[in-house]
Structure 1
Amino acid sequence: MPRTFAERDGLSRRSLLRFAALGAGAAGLSPLLAACSSGGSAASGADATTVSFGSNAAVPQPKGAYQSLFTQVKHDTGLSVDVNWVDHNTFQQNISTYLQGNPQDVFNWFAGERMQFFAGQNLLHDVDDVWASIGGNYTDAMKAQSKGSDGHYYFVPFDYYPWAVYYSKSLWKAKGYAEPTTWDEFIALAKKMKTDGLIPIAFTDKDGWPAMGTFDYLNMRINGFDFHINLMRNGDQWNSPQVKAVFDQWTQLLPYYSPGALGLTWQEGAQQLLNQQAGMMVLGLDQIGTIFTGPKAADLGFFAFPEINPQFGQDSVEAPIDGFMMSASPKNHTGAVKLLEYLGTAKAQQFWLGSNPADIATANGVDAAKYTQAQADSVTLIQKASHISQFMDRDTRPDFADPVLLPAIQQFLNNPGDVASITSSIDKQAKSIWASNG
């Protein structure tokens, strides 16, 4: 979701992204992204103790967690963080022109292809000097996720979270359900839930992106991680038997989905799970963890997406990484480096997670004893994985994910009997995009 932070405001976080604006200059820059929030000091560069920050977290959470964190930044470093708060969807729709205009010094973004894409466009400043300070805080895997294709660092990881199949522990205990590990067990459980009067799988795709996680898991379980990543990054084989097999397998789940799924937001699906109207839901902890809160947090259980092809088992986990990047020409480079060095510590990440327990820290040294059970179980799930993917729209080109894949998947959900024409159309568009843009 592949995470990003979740669309807690109910808006689609991906549906209208327009990266074709690259090269169009700053004329199309959204005024919401162009403006600084309050003080003009960071924008003018007059105050060396102020760092401007572009945030995609304008909704109450995680905005509140960030506000608390930036207060702590001031206390610990002396830096003031001047934030331009923008809702997630608007931020993503306009990120390309934003970076070509007058961006803040530091901003929220994602690891994977979404980071590398802008690094390749020379729209980012490398953060090698930051990593000289924080490198010891991270595993080699996190370091690899933070580099561009040129070998320089462009990203500071902050939090991440797994996608899995979530459920209500108390409901399952009352019904006597057991966690499935294979596809046959998964389908048998869905049938039993339907017989019991439940919606077996809370599934919603009004925003377009939630279904991407299911595609990713089906592809990795059927065809393996390497095939999946090559498919996302190279843009070929979309009209192959392997991809058609993914959609064919998916049709087996459709009878067990929420009625009217394409008209429902992920929050509505999560509420079905919370209210024990539905038995399971494929989603990210970053999203579902904001619904199962307070006393309900302990009721949230999950299991790894089931095995389909024994060759690959359950060896891959979707675990998107969120963090921060620096704009190409920060007005306060020294302050931006200092801020990123602080955000790359276990102390900063633990402080933030104290107000936002729906994610996992990326830095080493966080006190896992302070994690909720769902957070602790998430760490275990990810550590067991042989491979970690980022999410469909982070593992592929941004000018392909939303304009092509998102509507194609929704077309499939509307008309599952049209797989051949859907995969053919995706393939033609992919070849055109890769040929035109390299």
Structure 2
Amino acid sequence: MPRPATQDEYLASLVPDSVKGVSRRTLLRGALGAGALLATPSLLAACGGGSSSSGSSATGTVTLGSNQSDAVPKAAVQSMVNAFQKANSGLTVKINTIDHNSFQENINNYLQGSPDDVFSWFAGYRMRFFAKRDLAGDISDAWKGMSGMTDAFKKASTGDDGKQYFMPATYYPWAMFYRKSVFQKHGYEVPKTLDDLRTLGAQMKKDGLVPIAFGDKDGWPAMGTFDQLNLRVNGYDFHVSLMAGREPWNSDKVKKVFDTWAGLLDLHQPDALGRTWQEAAQTLQQGKAGTYLLGSFVAQQFKQGAEQDDLDFFGFPEVDSTIGADAVEAPIDGYMMSKRPKNEAGALKMLSYIGSPEAQNVLVKADPSVVASNGKADTSGYTALQKKSAEFVASAKSIAQFMDRDTRPDFASTVMIPAIQQFLKNPKDIDGLVNSIEKQKQSIFAS
């Protein structure tokens, strides 16, 4: 499956013919490599037919390295593994769960050491990065005959060499989350512009609420705030070009993003570097914060039932009317195979299963904060949040993954995490900040 000759041909190949009446041309105005597009699976025609027969004679033990360490996704993975073992009596899965952040920070050493047969990871640049460096196994056999997966998802799983290295499981959007009951109680309206957000934030302060819950102890959550602002201030095309290392970080455009962010910090929950995203989410859950910019996994901190039914979201408001607010982030989570798995047949069998609607039905039922990637998954039991997430992504004209997925892993972890945290400590020295980022970027992207 070679990449088309031109970028326009490539982008067109990612987009299905229609999504709720939106044409190929208008749905996506650009993409960063194979992983930048996501289309809502339940609304799109799928490629392929029948079930994959990969690993049909597989037996023995398959080891699974999982970064799903929080309670809800951890239980969802266990439920999926239980279902897989039930359907494949000759195979046993041993799960090796590692703290989410530790897993990401040590992924290079992990893959170069003695990795598990199958491991959880992300679509996009990060998948291709390890495939290109020969640290991941070719799972094209697991894709043979795959039913229900769109061409867009297959593209998102394909390395630079045209082979598949990733099996999508679920996806989720990033947005501004809030409790409907809190908005109703105070008569708040969803902000359409940045000025509206500032006005809303000021009123929330008067009402004794934290306008925007915020926690960046782990480093990566604040990347989402930068992404949303950059998408709104400079647009999608500039954003993905910046992530790819093709734009200078010390440009006026990037400075404007940080300037805009600095002007919003008074609405953010203070002392963010000492708070995890889970702790910040709990302030939203407890009705102490009015909104929270995060992925829909924020729902994991809400009890299933009435609490989750009270959770809603809106896209980050418009900053520049010439740019609009039609770009969103919707990261794809899934699984890869190590370069030399001890049980390759078993690993391929499991990866084929992970891509199936049966496996994803189990995942999204156990974790209502995510949406299935397989178009044949059962959506009848979706919560209101899952349904809205699918519609939200389908209506977007441009879709990014996330900073630490759309750029080089080493740049994201060694440069951007400390840089953004430094900004949060001292938002006044933006010139020094961006000059430092640019200098480090030039060194890393030259390697």
TM-score (norm 2): 0.84
Separation in 2, partners of 1:64, 1:273: 23
* Residue aligning to 1:121: 133
1:59 Cα deviation (Å)? 4.4
Q: Which residue of 237, 255, 267 maps to 2:266? A: 255
Is residue 2:357 matched to residue 1:338? no
- Asked if the contact 1:236/1:431 (under 8 Å) is kept, the reply is no
Native 8 Å contact 1:204 1:261 kept in 2: yes
Aligned counterpart in structure 1 of residue 227 of structure 2, from 216, 229, 245: 216
Cross-structure match for 1:140: 151
Between the aligned partners of 2:155 and 2:77, the Cα distance in structure 1 is 26
Match of 1:410 in 2: 421
Which residue is equivalent to 2:116? 104
Match of 2:319 in 1: 308
Is 1:294 the counterpart of 2:308 in the alignment?
A: no
Moved more, 105-114 or 87-96: 87-96
**What are the within-5 Å matches in structure 2 for residues 346-357 of structure 1?**
346-357=357-368
Secondary structure at the counterpart of residue 301 of structure 2: coil
- Quote the Cα distance in structure 2 between the aligned partners of 1:414 and 1:89: 21
Gaps of 5+ in 2: 1-57
Would the alpha carbon gap of residues 203 and 396 (structure 1) be closer, same or farther in structure 2, given more than 3 Å must change?
Answer: same
Task: Report if the CA contact (8 A) 1:235-1:431 is conserved.
Answer: no
Offset, 1:57: 2.5
Q: Deviations over 1:54-77 (max 9, x none)?
A: 122344332222222111111112
Find the counterpart in structure 2 of residue 86 from structure 1: 98
- Give the match for residue 390 of structure 1: 401
Structure-2 separation of matches of 1:254 and 1:162:
23
Choose the corresponding residue for 2:244, options 220, 233, 241.
233
> Aligned residue for 2:178?
167
Which moved further from structure 2: 55-64 or 108-117?
A: 55-64
What's the offset of the Cα at 1:178? Answer: 0.9
Out of 261-270 and 392-401, give the one that drifted further.
261-270
Q: In the alignment, which residue of structure 2 is the partner of 1:427? A: 438
Residue 371 in structure 1 maps to residue 382 in structure 2: yes
Q: Is the 8 A contact 1:236 1:427 kept in 2?
A: no
CA contact (8 A) 2:68 2:97 kept: yes
Residue 362 of structure 2 corresponds to residue 360 of structure 1: no
Aligned-pair CA distance for 1:363: 0.7
Stretch deviating more after TM superposition (317-326 or 197-206): 197-206
**Deviation at residue 236 of structure 1 after TM alignment:** 3.5
Decide whether the 8 Å contact of 1:106 with 1:324 is kept in 2: yes
The aligned amino acid for 1:116 is: R
CA positional deviation for 1:401:
0.5
Task: Tell me, yes or no, if the aligned pair for 1:220 and 1:316 is still in contact at 8 Å.
Answer: yes
Q: Which moved more, 1:93-102 or 1:248-257?
A: 93-102
Deviation sequence 1:318-343 (CA, Å, 0-9, x none): 11111000111122222211111111
The corresponding residue for 1:30 is none
Equivalent position of 1:185 in the other structure: 196
1:280 aligned partner: 291
Larger displacement relative to structure 2 (154-163 or 290-299): 290-299
Contact 2:176 2:314 (8 Å CA) reproduced = yes
TM-score normalised by L of structure 1? 0.86
Counterpart residue identity of residue 77, structure 1: N
Say whether the 8 Å CA contact 1:292–1:299 is kept in structure 2: no
Secondary structure at the aligned position of 1:289 is classed as helix
* C-alpha distance after superposition, 1:126-161 (max 9, x if no partner): 111111221x42222212211111221110000110
Map Cα deviations across residues 326-366 of structure 1 (whole Å, 9 max, x no partner): 11112222221111111101111011222111111111112
Q: Which of 28, 50, 66 is the matching residue for 1:55?
A: 66
Deviations 1:222-278 (A, max 9, x none): 111111111111253101111001001111211111122222221221111111111
Match of 2:4 in 1: none
Asked if the contact 1:236–1:430 (Cα under 8 Å) also holds between the matched residues in 2, the reply is no
Cα offset, 1:213, TM superposition: 0.4
Quote the Cα distance in structure 2 between the aligned partners of 1:275 and 1:234.
40
Decide which moves more: 205-214 or 48-57: 48-57
Residue aligned with 2:293, SS: strand
Name the CA shift for 1:292/1:172 in 2 (closer, same or farther; >3 Å): farther
Asked whether the equivalents of residues 105 and 413 of structure 2 are also in contact (C-alpha less than 8 Å), the reply is no
Aligned residue in 1 for 2:143: 131
Identity %: 50
Partner AA of 2:309 in structure 1: A
Cα distance, 1:235–1:426 mapped onto 2, change above 3 Å: farther
Please report how far the alpha carbon of residue 292 of structure 1 lies from its aligned counterpart in structure 2 after TM superposition.
4.8
1:267 aligns with 2:285: no
SS in 1 for 2:428: helix
Q: Structure 1 residue 66 and structure 2 residue 77: aligned?
A: yes
Query: Runs of 4 or more off by more than 4 Å in structure 1?
Result: none
